[in-house]
Amino acid sequence: MAILKKSRNLHTEDNTGFGSNSSNYSGRFFNRDTGGANVRRTGIGLLNRYSWYHTMLGMKRGKFLSLLFLVYISVNLLFAAIYYLIGVEHLAGIERGHDLKELSEVFFFSTQTFTTVGYGRISPTGFLTSAVATFEAFLGLLSFAIATGLFYGRFSRPQAFLKFSEQALVAPHNEGMALMFRMAPFKNNLLSDAEVKLTLAMEVEEDGKKTDKFFTLATQISKINSLALSWTLVHPIDEQSPLLGMTGEDIRNTDLELMIFVKAFDEVYSNTVVARWSYINTEIIWGGRFKLMYHPSEDKSHTILDLSMLNDWTPAELPTSVKSGNTNKLPE
């Protein structure tokens, strides 16, 4: 339970978008996996609730390709059925035989039409069959037009390609201590003008009532010119910090979440990219220090950034004077 005293008069944030009475909000605010808010929508039709384009862009690659293939097979099965019902005699060149054989011939004629391969061994002759084939070829080309757009949308979608440390650490800092976490770009993109915003959601007791409060946490450096190496964010736990006076045990027992929002400029896409991450109470280590994760190459010609070390830290003794500190001793 947070032992935040009202007398500290800390500035709380009212414009987080989670409502002023946040006891109506439950669970983790942000999902690390989806990078989105932990909200479910009801009272609206399924088709209206989702932007199919956003869904297609967010889908994992394997699932996306499987879906395309599934649509391809389904549409062709449908058209095969239509051609079959019209009559296989209207398909010149088809090999006649038992039903299954004819069906498969019709299906392959359909795929040859949909993809516009059109070998021509089988070709439509009657009006109706020809008309359906005319429509199918049109539909096929539009489908691939849509697929082209989806592919482009997927891979041109600006992404930050940032990895965050799994844990945040409370580390010794100057005379006192600071909350730290770090991030590193893991791909061959080049980010500049990176900017970080930290919001802490914490359940506090006010007048005997528990409510969730939001605080903006200050960091020593919140903007960086270019994000080439790892970047360690440092929030000093000082009088401006709502964390001042809390012990490791306090943090473990308090329902809190540190939400991170990064905005940067990707120089290849020439576009703004964003990344989100969050740490809840069990993901904050009391007393630790990150190991340096980059070093010069042997020939001193370039710098090596070792991404496997992103989560590497060593235990560190925190200053006892502050560690044992409690809110009663705070300057007011």
Give the one residue of 306, 316, 323, 325 binding a copy of itself; rule: CB under 8 A: 306
Q: Does 55 bind a copy of itself (CB under 8 A)?
A: yes
Q: Does 13 bind a copy of itself (CB under 8 A)?
A: yes
Q: Does 138 bind a copy of itself (CB under 8 A)?
A: yes
Q: Does 119 bind a copy of itself (CB under 8 A)?
A: yes
Distance of closest approach, residue 2 Cβ to a copy of itself, in angstroms: 19
Interacting span for a copy of itself (CB under 8 A) from 126-134, 166-174, 205-213, 247-255:
126-134
Q: Which is nearer to a copy of itself, 270 or 320 (CB)?
A: 270
Task: Please check whether residue 18 is in contact with residue 214, taking contact to mean a CB–CB distance below 8 angstroms.
Answer: yes
Angstrom CA distances, 267 to 191, 271, 272, stand at 6, 7, 9
Interacting span for a copy of itself (CB under 8 A) from 81-89, 171-179, 297-305, 313-321:
297-305
Q: Does 253 bind a copy of itself (CB under 8 A)?
A: no
Span 186-225, contacts to a copy of itself by CB under 8 A:
186-190, 192, 194, 197, 199, 221, 223-225
Angle at the Cα of 269 from the Cα atoms of 265 and 272, rounded to 5 degrees: 30
Strand partners, 271: 266
**Measured distance CA(291)–CA(149) in Å, rounded:** 44
Span 95-114, contacts to a copy of itself by CB under 8 A:
95, 104, 107-108, 111-113
Q: Does 300 bind a copy of itself (CB under 8 A)?
A: yes
CA dihedral 296, 301, 303, 304 (to 10 degrees): -80
CA-based torsion, 79, 81, 82, 84: positive or negative: positive
Q: Does 276 bind a copy of itself (CB under 8 A)?
A: yes
Q: Which is nearer to a copy of itself, 158 or 248 (CB)?
A: 158
Number of residues near a copy of itself (by CB under 8 A) = 124
Q: Which is nearer to a copy of itself, 72 or 319 (CB)?
A: 72
Task: Please check whether residue 212 is in contact with residue 202, taking contact to mean a CB–CB distance below 8 angstroms.
Answer: yes
- Look at residues 89, 148, 80, 91 and name the one whose alpha carbon lies nearest to residue 114: 80
| Longest alpha-carbon distance in the chain | 94
CA 301, distance to chain mean position in Å, is: 35
Give the one residue of 157, 252, 291, 329 binding a copy of itself; rule: CB under 8 A: 157
